[in-house]
Amino acid sequence: MGKLDGRVVLITGAARGQGEQEARLFVREGARVVLADVLDDQGEALAKEIGARYVHLDVRGEDDWRAAVAVAKEAYGRIDGLVNNAGILRFNELVDTPLEEFQQVVQVNQVGVFLGIRTVAPEIASAGGGTIVNTASYAGLTGMAWVGAYAATKHAIVGLTRVAALELAAKGIRVNAVCPGAIDTAMSNPAQLDPDADPADSERTSRALDELYRKLVPLGRIGRPEEVARLALFLTGDDSSYITGQPFVIDGGWLAGVSVI
């Protein structure tokens, strides 16, 4: 028996990184999964490999959301789970952040989650209930220099999660948030994506990041996307049946307190 047998789950930003690992794990646990992303070639290939459906979904667009729901229902008859995972990160000091950049981050991270909840929650309700997992961040619970726009949107996602949990509980929908710390994906190490990068440079960057996290994170390492996927599984399956409206930190202890050792 899989932990998600019989469930139909839509995962945004699922072509790579944490969304990819969530899709892989959810399929292994018996779910029928719809992978959504703007990286169509990667998304299609992954869906084919794991036996899932892919749909192009730019989370900023209402029409894309409506079309994605139609694809999921046509393929599997209903939707009873949503993982709002798509997100982008931009580094800048607040006083130097162009309005356009700030709004770009808000559109993907915050508006994307809002549209996801608004579009998919009625479908989950009509399927008899289910779950929504929103991807916030440790930067949704604390400040972090150089990521003002990102941190603002991730705080907003925690707020949206709480409000959605209150409004949707009566419809049988639980809504929670994952708050990852540093996780080893393209977002934390974009060198992973650059085909022209000198392998020696990439290796040096990875070693420097390893050293950084060894000092900063109590558990002494960066997190793996598979570890976040296991938390998303917990919040999507029945093991979390009495939990709603909560942010869950998964950060190797980084937010536990100020470390002086």
Q: Provide the binding-site residues for ligand NAD, judged by CB under 6 A.
A: 12-13, 15-19, 37-39, 57-60, 85-89, 108, 135, 137, 180, 182-183, 185-188
Q: Cα–Cα distance between 5 and 27 in angstroms, integer? A: 9
CB of 15 to ligand NAD, least distance (A): 4
Token pair for 231: 């938390």
Which of 14, 129 has the CB closer to ligand NAD?
14
| Residue 66 parent element (H or E) | helix 62-76
Q: Among 54, 138, 150, 213, which one carries the catalytic annotation? A: 150
Q: What is the largest CA-CA distance in the chain?
A: 55
| Residue 18 parent element (H or E) | helix 17-28
Which of 142, 169 has the CB closer to ligand NAD?
142
CB of 172 to ligand NAD, least distance (A): 26
Which of 131, 153 has the CB closer to ligand NAD?
153
CB of 19 to ligand NAD, least distance (A): 6
C-beta separation of 110 from 156 below 8 A: yes
Q: Cα–Cα distance between 204 and 211 in angstroms, integer? A: 11
Which of 87, 252 has the CB closer to ligand NAD?
87
CB of 166 to ligand NAD, least distance (A): 23
Q: Is 150 designated active site?
A: yes
Q: Cα–Cα distance between 47 and 15 in angstroms, integer? A: 8
CB of 37 to ligand NAD, least distance (A): 5
C-beta separation of 32 from 8 below 8 A: yes
Token pair for 11: 């995962």
Q: Tell me phi and psi for residue 60, to 5 degrees.
A: -80, -10
Which of 18, 161 has the CB closer to ligand NAD?
18
Residue 244: alpha-carbon gap to chain centroid = 17
User: Which residue numbers are catalytic?
Assistant: 150
